[in-house]
Amino acid sequence: MTKYCLTVTCPSRRGIVAAISTFLTDKTCNITDASQFDDQETGYFFMRVSFTPENGSDLAALAEGFAEIAEPFGMTYEFHDESRKMKVAIMVSRFGHCLNDLLYRVRIGALPVEVVAVISNHMDYQKPVVNADIPFHCIKVTKDNKPQAEAAIMKVVEETGAELIVLARYMQILSDEMCQKMSGRIINIHHSFLPSFKGANPYKQAFERGVKLIGATSHYVTADLDEGPIIEQDIVRITHAQSAADYVSLGRDVESQVLARAIHAHAHHRVFLNGNKTVVFPASPGSYSSERMG
């Protein structure tokens, strides 16, 4: 069954939902799921609507017809085919747990993405990536060659048509220029429950402070290190009896889950940038189902 979704952002005012639902009804589209949020602080309205076209309407025709509805409301909008898999480039350094988790989820169809490239500054994961029939690119990064390395990375992104870059524990800081060029299209996993315990060794900081909860944060990458809009977070409970190494092991699982959930939300067009924050709508029914179990 063909299923599309419509995402809308605009200044809040009366009649938005009625206009959208009337348009879809007039185009003989059946709404199957809808989420909306009216931000009282910013005065902006956000909406995501899943629907099935019952008369075979295509996306281009719907988008063209919707322009007349969108204009008086000042809407920013997009129509998406929910069966289309988003093209993703994954970047990784020497910690492979997130990469391996993502490759498994993609293989069983649990994530609606196509991994078009894996980029690393080390060779550690070349074999499992190539064995999965995914192009592997080793691009070394040093203080002296960083601009050239980033140019090589962006060349891979452009040639593969990657729509999203995923930093799966990629331990290099991206330049301001790259962050701005790919704004809203780079997702990072940080091994800390931001905004606490930032920096290179948050688990050691957490251990030294004797915390009872550790966690992970997935966010969009901006020029401000680890300050980008947060998409997903989660925690795991620990006790005084566990070591700093235990923290790392327990945190590894949380990182993998949090990153996968953030990518799932982005790929399903459920995430809306809202200033320094995000609006993340719940998943539509059936969107977590996998094509196979192993």
Residues taking part in catalysis: 226
Q: Residues with Cβ < 8 Å from 255, sequence gap 6 or more? A: 97, 98, 169, 189, 191, 216
DSSP for 142-198, written as a single string: -TTTHHHHHHHHHHHHHHHT-SEEEESS--SPPPHHHHHHTTTSEEEEESS-TTSS-
Buried b / exposed e along 250-268 (16+ C-beta atoms within 10 A):
bbbebbbbbbbbbbbbbbb
Please give the Cα distance from 90 to 128 (Å, whole number).
13
Evaluate whether 10 touches 56 at the Cβ level (below 8 Å): no
Assign 52 to helix, strand or coil. Answer: strand
